[in-house]
Amino acid sequence: MTLDLQKKLDDILALPAETEWVEFKHNNKKPEEIGEYLSALANGAALHGKSAGYIVWGVEDGTRRILGTTFQPRQSKVGNEELENWLHRLLTPRINFTIHEFDRDGLPVVLWEVQAANSTPVRFQSDAFIRVGSYKKKLKDFPEKERRLWQLLSGMQHDWSAQIVEAARLNDLDSAALDFARTQYQVKHPQRAIEMDSWDDVTFLNKAKACIGGKVTHAALVLLGKEESAHLLSPAVAQLTWILRNETKVEQDYEHFGLPLILSSDRILKKVRNLTIRHLPSGTLFPQEVSQYDPWVMRETLHNCIAHQDYTLCGRISLVETPDSLLFTNMGTFIPGTVEDMIRSDSPPAVYRNKFLADAMVNLNMIDTIGSGIKKMFMAQRQRNFPMPDFDLSKANQVSVQLTGRILDEKYTQLLMARSELELMDVIALDKVQKQQILGDAEFKRLKEQYLIEGRRPNLFVSAKVAATTGDKAAYIKNRAFDKSHYQEMVTAYLQKFGEATRKELDQLLMDKLSDTLDDKQKRHFVTNLLQELRRKRVVRPDGVTRGAKWRLYKADSREEI
């Protein structure tokens, strides 16, 4: 064993300088830096086709002289937690690493071997890292490397969903599914309604991007195939499973749904007991009666599972229902990396697992434009004042999304009712607080600066002071925030009547009508965002860039300034 380690160390020392899967250290043993290097070296090893990356303590970087080290990783702790366990917990997805401690020339050396990323870029805490030359950097700052790594890890060079199934024929597709698909295509593309009447099945399937040159693809079978045609996908599996569990998680019922998934998705969602719940935040004048789950959010979540399932892993898509939650699970890694990055960018990911299938599902009105659905799911939950969707990306080759069908923290709900102008990322951070999840430093700072949370980390809670604005009936009417569209209509009505307005005049119009839970600075910020949103929508425009600029409407027909 010792001879093998000595040989391995010799091979590592003989590598060229600035190798992106090897790092040399003397005594640096900061836990956070070790975690970041493990992420960078695992990703670097995958990018260069290596099975593992290495950190070596006791070697001088540059000269590669053996100096020895005082670092003893197995005796090291972070707080009361062993360093190894701490790193395993914060590296996502879970990867293997091995620590070797031995002597070289009578001096102690530590050789830390980390498994190459094999399903998704390895992240430490919330960020994935990469070596660029001799420097450790965040992977997201190098999009070409990130794109290449995703391609390597996800096998994106070959889109399984676009592959033609030579043994399949058009009569292997379900006639009811085809009729439904035509109807949904017309909903998505109403401008083609007339010409669609002349399309035969082959033309339609080619136009919908389900078939290629009239030949049946994996995507066409998944969405439109007859139940008895499932063997044509073998060994892949295209099946949905509904499981009902009670309060103690004991299984009460289940059902499997096979091809065609374009019809089975509706059938499985009809199994969900989407109850109406009556919610009365303390002190409010009017109760809220809402369904546990937004139908669009349920549909979008399930259809995303279908679009992004790794069918080569031969697993089912599952929907587990409990009295107050729905858990959707599909096989495969989460391609965009993190949910937060996906929401911030609000754009399609660089690569896809099943691009052909996803394009077909867009054409058949099953999913929203690729890249925007996840953000809309969060916005829909925010508008209902309900908890945000919970994405679990911690397990290798599996993504889970949980929808909560009840109010968790009344203060959270009250705050959202009182502060409709809150940015979505702040609402997501508040949702983490109500669920007692860890906040990042930037999230914590933002919420603290707005007085939205109280307590000290990690024991944070939604501010009772802000949430209490809905606790008094008279104050509720005075302090509640109207929907943003209400204020937009006020601006457009004013400009229709008077033709133009300065920013000062618009402030006078809106400031005293905004919620009293906002201070003057927050109100001005709200008005600024409101005008910029109207400007992006080409509803209004300023005639200059100074504060004295006049705001005017666009004409509805030509979009020219009135």
Question: Per-residue confidence of the chain (562 residues) as pLDDT tens digits?
Answer: 466 788 888 888 888 766 888 999 888 778 999 999 999 999 998 888 788 899 999 998 878 889 999 999 989 999 889 999 999 899 988 888 889 999 988 999 999 999 888 878 899 988 999 998 878 999 988 887 887 888 777 654 578 999 999 999 999 999 999 999 999 999 999 999 999 999 999 999 999 999 999 999 999 999 999 999 999 999 999 999 999 999 999 999 999 999 999 999 999 999 999 999 876 555 555 567 889 999 999 999 999 999 999 998 889 999 999 999 999 999 987 776 678 777 876 666 656 789 899 999 999 999 976 667 888 999 999 999 899 999 998 787 899 999 999 999 888 988 888 888 899 999 999 999 999 998 888 899 999 989 899 888 888 989 876 655 444 444 444 444 566 778 888 999 899 888 899 988 999 898 888 876 677 888 888 888 889 889 888 899 888 666 678 899 986 444 444 4
Q: CA 94, 95, 99: angle at the middle one, nearest 5? A: 130
Q: Enumerate the β-bridge partners of residue 215.
A: 212
Q: What's the CA gap between 297 and 372, in Å, rounded?
A: 13
Q: Enumerate the β-bridge partners of residue 164.
A: 217
H/E element, 252: strand 251-257
Cα-trace Rg, the chain: 28
Q: Classify residue 213 as exposed, middle or buried by CB count within 10 Å of its CB (0-12, 13-18, 19+).
A: exposed
Give counts: helices (H), strands (E), the chain.
21, 25
Domains and CATH numbers, the chain: 2-154 (3.30.950), 411-475 (no CATH), 484-553 (1.10.10)
